[in-house]
Structure 1
Amino acid sequence: MNHDALEHIVPEEGTPRRKFLKNSLLLTVPALVGGALLPKVSMAATYVPPTRMRGLTRLNVRNYGALGNGTSDDTAAIQAAINALPSDGGTVYIPAGTYMIDAVKSIRLRSKMHLELDPAAVLKAIPNGAEKAYVVLASKCTDVEISGGQIIGERYGHLVTTGEWGHAIFIRGSQRVTIRDIRVADCYGDGISLGAAPVWQSAPIYSEDVAIANVVSTNNRRQALTIGRAKYVQVHDSEFSNSNGVKPETGIDIEPDMPDEGGIADRITIKNCVIRGNRTYGINIFKGARNITIRGCTIEENGSCGLVTVGCTGIYIAVNTVRRNSATGIFIQYDTTNCQISQNTFYDNYLRLGDVDRTAFSLYGWDKKVERDLLYRGEGIVDLRITTNYYR
């Protein structure tokens, strides 16, 4: 993918977890602007992510030698607790403290388990020089849950200047996974990454049925969230912010590997999320992505466009607030098919050219007067349906 160099507007700091749901709910308040009443957004109750199947065993990592003192390497102790779970699985609990993790080795999850961090627990990556390193890795697992506390990467201590694959959480070829109520930050690569697991002389195993809820992913070097080869992904009530450091530098990048060889990201829902302050795009929907819903989100203050599509199909963008992005609010580009854009509210986009005052209005379809907010351009755009949207 060719990622153009783009200007950067320094964003505000990421919203703490206790605030971002409140910020999303502000979208429900009708606004009176220029004598016109903008629509009240109807939003569903807060999403409740699924609990995954597992046994009742509960193990405390302190009983396996983990210290949580911010200096000792606790990787082996936490792994020992995971390995000690019985065949029907259970919960591995991490009490309050700072646990230093060797991300080259990773905390490797197993099927039928919950990695439960105390709200005051932090998993912190030990600086490394590896091309690929993950604090928490779920590879070819089923029925996994990760919740609580924080995972902090080592972007400020990384021992080399190359690479972009230092993630907090990597879900690879796993099914029925829930990630909830957690903050991830300062990673050398992505905060959270979903993808497929390779299989020798066979088709790759996709990640499927993944739920992400009440998460903050901020100040990561590549992406806040990457959705690669994955199916049936639900992302709700979360913040993806301040990605900066190495391209693409987006909040959410829906971009499956090897799209020319059939790689897809399919049936992805992003709902009631805040995507802000990322150096390039807020959301990128790229080749091989299909059946994507973006609904009820705030997409703001990103260093280029708020949302971009290229070479994707089955896109539904509705009831979002898209504002104060440095370039176009929503930019539909070449080979995008079967795309509907409805009931979104736009203002102050293409801010790098200066702010524009205007009276609030609604518009069915498209007109050149809204090209700073909504634009389509390029060959192969088929079945683009722009219904009523709101501008102020």
Structure 2
Amino acid sequence: MLDNEHVHAVHANDAARRQFLKKSSAAAASLALGTTALPALASVYAPPVRKHGSTVRNVRNYGAVGDGAHDDTTGIQRAIDSLPSSGGTVFVPAGTYLIDVTRTIRLRSYTHLQLDPGAKLLAKATSASRYYVINAYKVHDVEISGGQIVGERDRHLGTMGQWGHCIGIRGCTRVTVRDIRLSKGWGDGISIGAANGTTTVLSENIAVANIVSTGNRRQGMTIGRCRNVKVYDSEFSYTSGIKPGCGIDIEPDPFGTSLTDTVRIENCWIHHNAGNGVQVYKTVRDVVVKACTIEYNKGFGVLMLRANTGYVVNCRIYHNRLYGVSARDATRYYQISSNTFRNNKTLYFGVKSSTGSLTTITGTGSSGSMKSSWQLEVESDCYGIKVGANYYAL
């Protein structure tokens, strides 16, 4: 294929998104209990298209082979580096592309890295404790879409470290990651945070939509020091191997004094993780978890520790090993309402069948410790917590 030939449309994987939402809608409908209506499913989120030039590069024209044996790191990087300053689209046709993660694929500003639905970037085995298959560092106006990225946790040559990520975003602005599957990272499926140096550069205006991040070793997704992060219509599942093991961990690293501010997680399916479904930890402000299904995690469904301001609303929270939602360690100014809880804290009671009617629970949670049938916990050191009407059953 020549560079100027037609590439797949920007939304080539819309069918996959519709299929995910159809499954999510069906699950929600099947869980209607008694006469109580469950919260409506969120509408489909249209992730922002980032600015880039009209130039198109096909990686096959720059030395990439896609046979699963040839090291294609150089070929893909050449295609990216060949773009003009105005950027453009780098297209990866169907095939398996072996990537040397110690060299990584480095993105440039104004670039759309577009994988065919049948394209796979496969990490070469390494002993490195830290790597990114795709590395976005201090760039802006970037998209990553399509296909899949597979890490090398099953083939890793060492035992140290936890930072081998499928996608790393550091100190970037206006980045969209969509319609892609991330799996088997030595660390996270996707890690978003700041670029450290003489001056700390936060990541800002990051959109993640219709991705599946599954079977990674440390987290499905880490959201570190960032502002304005949106995560929609995505799955984070089967994280295990090293703590924290969360589906999504919103946790700024300890460098400097900056915090994480304004995160939206909506219409996501977060399940079967070895740790918490969603963890909101320390210097984090304004987090909304809305219309998500959070189930079968081996920790809490949602855990807030010293978190400041946010909502857990319209979620379905089932069969988590500890409380469905827990506010601890001086968490303040959260609203927890319109959620449906079922059979959480299975550590003590085991998984029960989905029978029985829903019961409404209310409470302020503003003073004292509140525990509602093992579903919802607000510890006594938390304040400004508003607990509206929620629905629960054993």
**Taking structure 2 as the reference length, what is the TM-score of the superposition?**
0.91
C-alpha distance in structure 1 between counterparts of 2:380 and 2:127, whole Å: 41
* Residue 174 (structure 2) pairs with residue 168 (structure 1): no
Deviation at residue 19 of structure 1 after TM alignment? 4.7
- Name the counterpart of 2:21: 21
Whether 1:226 aligns to 2:225 is: no
Counterpart AA for 1:389: N
RMSD of aligned alpha carbons: 1.7
Change (3 A) 1:32 1:69: closer
Paired amino acid for 2:206: V
Match of 2:346 in 1: 351
Q: Which residues of structure 1 form unaligned runs of 5+? A: 1-15
Q: How many residues align?
A: 371
Give 1:106 shift: 0.6
Q: Give distance in 1, aligned partners of 2:46 and 2:71.
A: 34
Q: Alpha-carbon deviation of 1:358?
A: 4.6
Does the aligned pair in 2 maintain the 1:125–1:153 contact within 8 Å?
yes
Superposed, which structure 2 residues align to 1:111-126 within 5 Å? 111-126=109-124
* 2: CA distance, partners of 1:116 / 1:295: 29
Provide the C-alpha distance between the structure 2 equivalents of 1:359 and 1:232, rounded to a whole number of angstroms.
Answer: 38
Verify: 1:323 aligned to 2:318, yes or no. yes
Aligned runs of 1:3-14 on 2, under 5 Å? none
Deviation at 1:133, TM superposition (A): 0.8
Give deviations 1:142-180, integer Å, cap 9, x for gaps. 000000000000001111011100000000000000000
2:45 aligned with 1:47, yes or no? yes
Report the equivalent of 1:372: 374
Q: SS in structure 1 opposite 2:23? A: helix
Q: Secondary structure of 1:123's partner?
A: strand
- Amino acid aligned to 2:252: P
- Equivalence for 1:61: 59
Deviation, 1:371, is 3.8
Equivalents in 1 of 2:371, 2:304: separation in Å? Answer: 21
2:260 to 257, 265, 276: 265
Aligned-pair distance for 1:361? 1.1
| Partner residue in 1 for 2:8 | none
Contact residue 280 and residue 307 of structure 2 kept, 8 A: yes
1:141-152 to structure 2, matched below 5 A, reads: 141-152=139-150
Moved over 6 A (4+): 366-369
2:300 counterpart of 1:298 = no
Q: Is the 8 A contact 1:31 1:39 kept in 2?
A: no
Q: Say whether residues 1:196 and 2:194 are aligned partners.
A: yes
User: In the alignment, which residue of structure 2 is the partner of 1:235?
Assistant: 231
TM alignment of 1:130-141, pairs within 5 A: 130-141=128-139
How far apart are 1:311 and its partner, in Å?
Answer: 0.8
Q: TM-score, normalised by structure 1?
A: 0.91
| Correspondence 1:246 to 2:267 | no
CA-to-partner distance for each residue in 1:163-213, whole Å, 9 max, x for gaps? Answer: 10000000000000000000000010000000100132x3x1001000000
User: Structure 2: how far apart are the matches of 1:286 and 1:211?
Assistant: 21
Q: Which has the higher contact order (CA 8 A, sep 6+)?
A: 1
- Native 8 Å contact 1:223 1:243 kept in 2: yes
